């Protein structure tokens, strides 16, 4: 079974500043994928970034990047140049390899507030 | 390419009634998933379906809940004899058969309120 832990229920950041959201996970699988999803007030689940566990290079999507530490089972999200539209609940999630049951396991979320 | 479509977006049911939530996956996607989000919680997996088959229903409550994904038409999540504890957001998601990175795309959710 996989577990995902987000230890920061709430975070805040000043507009234009950088913030890092933490996520740790536990899995017995050797190959898996990790994701960050964003849930704004509209409640839609929006994929922010994904990381293949077999890739050492950290994924980057514009202002969003991850720090993937496989040995430590850590997968943090860094948001640079924070914007008001980044305010949302952020969920870290994991999934096992293709061919197995495609269950996403979610953390409990981190509510990010962006201060003007 | 339209995204995952869910309807209704909001549904109010009295205790004991039935709730039916519909989901049309993205074009070209043959895998559908249902997740439930209780207030102040993360999403929890319920069921994974392919066309006409339930692949994994390990997250489904044993009673009153059922899901289908027929050969034609949307996937349906059915909740019989609803209770107050069923009030939640129900998210449908889909992925193509060969999903790169297993990326799963979510709909906007259906909010069920049981009064």
- pLDDT tens for B9-59 read 999 999 999 999 999 999 888 899 999 999 878 899 999 999 889 988 989
Q: Is the pLDDT of residue B97 over 80?
A: no
Sequence-distant contacts of B68-74: CB under 8 A, at least 24 apart: B69/B32, B74/B5, B74/B22, B74/B23, B74/B24
pLDDT for the residue numbered A29: 78
Pairing type for strands A88-96 and A74-79 reads unpaired
* pLDDT for residue A2: 80
The residues pairing with A91 across neighbouring beta strands, listed in sequence order, are A37
The tens digit of pLDDT for each residue in A1-60 reads 689 999 999 999 999 999 999 999 998 877 788 999 999 988 888 999 999 888 889 999
A101·B35 Cβ contact <8 A: no
pLDDT bin (cut points 50, 70, 90) of residue B101 is low
pLDDT value at position B102? Answer: 60
Beta-carbon pairs below 8 A across chains A and B: 65
CB nearest A45 (choices: B98, B103, B106) = B106
Contact list, A95 vs chain B (CB under 8 Å): 102, 104
Q: Determine the average pLDDT of the residues in A72-78.
A: 96
Instruction: Please provide the average confidence, as pLDDT, over all residues in chain B.
Output: 91
Q: In this predicted structure, what is the pLDDT of residue B46?
A: 95
pLDDT for position A100: 53
Inter-chain residue contact A97 with B102, CB threshold 8 Å:
yes
What's the confidence (pLDDT) of residue A98?
55
Q: Closest chain B residue to A55 measured between Cα atoms?
A: B101
Asked if B109 and A43 touch (Cβ cutoff 8 Å), the reply is yes
The residue of chain A with its CA nearest to that of B42 is: A108
Which chain B residue's Cα is nearest to A43? B108
Interface of A with B in 57-96 (CB under 8 A): 91, 95
């Amino acid at each position: 079974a996989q577990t995902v832990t987000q230890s920061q229920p709430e975070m805040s950041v000043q507009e234009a500043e950088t913030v890092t959201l933490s996520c740790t996970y536990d899995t017995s699988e050797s190959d898996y994928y990790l994701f960050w999803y964003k849930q704004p007030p509209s409640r839609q689940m929006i994929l922010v970034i994904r990381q293949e566990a077999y890739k050492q290079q950290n994924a980057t999507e514009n202002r969003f990047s991850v720090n993937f530490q496989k040995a430590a089972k850590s997968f943090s999200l860094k948001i640079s140049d924070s914007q008001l539209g980044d305010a949302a609940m952020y969920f870290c999630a994991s999934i096992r390899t293709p061919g197995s049951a495609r269950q996403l396991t979610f953390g409990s979320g981190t509510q990010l507030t962006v201060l003007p | 390419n339209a995204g995952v479509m869910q309807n209704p977006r909001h549904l109010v049911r009295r205790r004991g009634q039935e709730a039916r939530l519909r989901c049309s996956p993205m074009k070209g996607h043959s895998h559908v998933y249902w997740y439930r989000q209780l207030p102040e919680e993360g999403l929890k997996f319920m069921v994974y379906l392919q066309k006409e088959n339930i692949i994994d229903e390990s997250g489904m409550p044993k009673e009153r809940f059922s899901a289908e994904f027929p050969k034609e038409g949307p996937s349906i999540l059915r909740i019989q004899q609803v209770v107050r504890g069923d009030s939640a957001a129900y998210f449908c998601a889909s992925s193509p058969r060969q999903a790169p990175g297993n990326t799963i795309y979510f709909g906007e959710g259906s909010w069920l309120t049981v009064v």
